[in-house]
Amino acid sequence: MKCVILTHRHKQILYDHTRAHYPNESCALLIGNVQNNCYIVNNIHLTQNQDFSTTKFSISSDDLIKCYSFADRKNLEVIGIFHSHPHSPSYPSKTDLKFMELNPISWIIFSHPQNNFKAFLLESVLKEIPIQESY
Ligand SMILES: [Zn+2]
């Protein structure tokens, strides 16, 4: 069973980031490692939504390079992509699904109307995976 493990503080950082960018979508990259099939988050790299949009997001290549080289130096990996849905449920949109196919890591979505985080993986089919909070 796959899962995503992050701390209460990580969730707070992501939540604050979504509040700061509301009503636009916000995004971040999650850095960590994979152990026993679970994506364990160690570090959050907050990024700017280049699209400044309420319905889509994109991360600059600069941010991506910074994040991947940071992960490399720490012997970690980019294990997840986070973004928020200011006006819709925490479920991947058609556009998200297209990008999930290109980036087969965990995808975490925060929904403002639902006030919750959900995690997904797109392997052959879309699967919701549990988010566990560690301390
Ligand atoms: Zn989305």
For residue range 63-101, list pLDDT tens digits in order: 999 999 999 999 999 999 999 999 999 999 999 999 999
Mean pLDDT of 2-6: 96
Instruction: Cite the beta strand spans of 8-125 per DSSP E.
Output: 27-35, 38-47, 77-85, 106-111, 116-122
Q: For residue 89, how far is its CA from the centre of ligand 1 (angstroms)?
A: 9
- What is the topology classification, in CATH, of domain 3-134? Cytidine Deaminase; domain 2 (3.40.140)
H, E, C per residue of 22-36:
CCCCCEEEEEEEEEC
What's the token pair of residue 81?
A: 């992509």
Question: What is this structure's pTM?
Answer: 0.96
3-state helix, strand, coil in the chain (%, to 5): 25, 40, 35
Domain locations in the chain?
3-134
Q: What is the CA radius of gyration of the chain?
A: 14
CA of 25 to the centre of ligand 1 (A): 8
Q: How far is the CA of 110 from the centre of ligand 1 (A)?
A: 9
Q: What are the tens digits of pLDDT across the range 95-114?
A: 999 999 999 999 999 999 99
Residue 51: φ, ψ to 5°: -85, -15
pLDDT tier, 15 (very low <50, low <70, confident <90, very high otherwise)? very high
Residue type, 86: P
Instruction: Give yes or no for residue 1 having a pLDDT over 80.
Output: no
Q: What's the distance, CA 124 to chain centroid? A: 20
Alpha-carbon span 120 to 73, nearest angstrom: 27
